[in-house]
């Protein structure tokens, strides 16, 4: 079935425009409340920079969802939006609890990251917050099974996955545009795969995420007037983790067991970087939660690339990995 672009394109554009044009408001607000990243150890910027990106991205995602919910509720007589969405499987019938849990989880991650940005939470407290949010999502039946029909196993794997991907993107937020760009690329590939299978609600959520991140990127790359901060990187990682759970990768069209590993290809760059730095810190006897300059981006810069070119190269690698994932499911 062809993509219903009359639904998808407005969603993508509204997410992009909301994120892009709301960023100055969020930048002023975060400056006013002191939510800024000051220059210091391991920092590449020279002036305090507002940590406004996560708020703009979430606004870009929630605003179109709110408009769609309003259209359903009021049943606008001048619009056939409700009928179009229902015809293409986009009407969230019987999925209200699932969607509400995902949105609440996103708000929770944004709040948790904001508290960490402001007060530098102890690692145990931050991990506990991530864990509780992951439990909330799993309880809403947004879960991984991996062909093992056991509730305890499903909870454990889902929670581990959300924690891993969330922290992988948190770790990758170390250069202008890197985390947001990787998030937009991954969201696009998830949207494409879900759309190919007719999983249109998943496609819509993925496109909203991609649009919101693309709307933030001009404010963050190549020169940054705002950062994602822990609030934004937590949000991006969480959204990508959930996006990898929602689609059914193992389908009648793809009856191969290896299809369930498609998300690992799409997220290969942040997951690979996380594995590398954790292993390295463990071998050096350092706490895995203490930051350093041994990430892929830092190593590329030390090899002679500029920061902008290092980010572009990593984006290219992530795009290539996503393309491989598409070829694997065809």
Tell me what pLDDT residue 1 has: 43
Question: Is the predicted pLDDT of residue 39 greater than 80, yes or no?
Answer: no
- Supply the DSSP symbol for 309: H
What would the pLDDT profile of 199-251 be if each residue is shown by its tens digit? 888 888 899 999 999 999 999 999 999 999 999 999 999 999 999 998 765 45
- Whose tokens are 């062809």? That residue is 2
Q: Is the pTM of this model over 0.85?
A: yes
Query: What percent of the chain is modeled with pLDDT above 90?
Result: 64
Mean pLDDT of 166-182: 96
More confident residue, 329 or 257: 329
pLDDT tens column, 47-59: 789 999 999 999 9
- 328 and 259 Cβ atoms separated by less than 8 Å: yes
Give the Cα separation of 52 and 114 in Å (integer): 10
Alpha-carbon Rg for the chain in angstroms: 19
Contact 47, 39 (CB under 8 A): yes
Buried b (16+ CB within 10 A) or exposed e, 274-313: beebeeebeeeeeeeeeeeeebbbbebbeeeeebeebbbe
**What's the confidence (pLDDT) of residue 99?**
82
pLDDT tens-digit map of 79-109: 455 555 555 555 555 567 788 889 999 999 9
């Amino acid at each position: 079935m062809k993509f219903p672009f009359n639904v998808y394109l407005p969603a993508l554009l509204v997410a992009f425009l909301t994120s892009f044009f709301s960023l100055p408001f969020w930048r002023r607000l975060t400056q006013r409340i002191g939510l800024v990243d000051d220059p210091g150890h391991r920092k590449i910027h020279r002036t305090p920079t507002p940590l406004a990106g996560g708020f703009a991205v979430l606004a870009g995602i929630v605003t179109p969802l709110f408009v769609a919910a309003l259209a359903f509720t009021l049943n606008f007589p001048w619009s056939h939006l409700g009928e179009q969405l229902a015809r293409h499987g986009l009407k969230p019938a019987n999925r209200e609890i699932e969607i509400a849990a995902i949105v609440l989880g996103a708000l929770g991650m944004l709040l948790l990251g904001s508290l960490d940005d402001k007060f530098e939470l102890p690692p145990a407290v931050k991990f506990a917050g991530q864990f509780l949010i992951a439990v909330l999502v799993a309880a809403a039946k947004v879960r991984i099974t991996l062909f093992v029909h056991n509730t305890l196993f499903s909870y454990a794997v889902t929670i581990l996955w959300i924690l891993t991907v969330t922290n992988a993107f948190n770790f990758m937020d170390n250069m202008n545009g890197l985390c947001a760009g990787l998030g937009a690329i991954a969201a696009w590939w998830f949207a494409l795969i879900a759309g190919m299978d007719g999983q249109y609600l998943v496609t819509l959520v993925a496109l909203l995420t991609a649009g919101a991140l693309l709307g933030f990127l001009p404010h963050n790359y190549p020169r940054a007037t705002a950062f994602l901060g822990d609030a934004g990187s937590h949000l991006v990682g969480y959204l990508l983790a959930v996006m990898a759970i929602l689609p059914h990768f193992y389908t009648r069209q793809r009856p191969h067991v290896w299809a369930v590993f498609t998300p690992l290809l799409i997220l290969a760059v942040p997951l690979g970087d996380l594995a590398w730095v954790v292993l390295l810190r463990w071998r050096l006897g350092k706490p895995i939660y203490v930051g350093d300059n041994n990430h892929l981006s830092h190593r590329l810069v030390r090899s002679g690339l500029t920061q902008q070119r290092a980010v572009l190269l990593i984006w290219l690698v992530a795009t290539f990995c996503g393309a491989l994932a598409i070829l694997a499911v065809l």
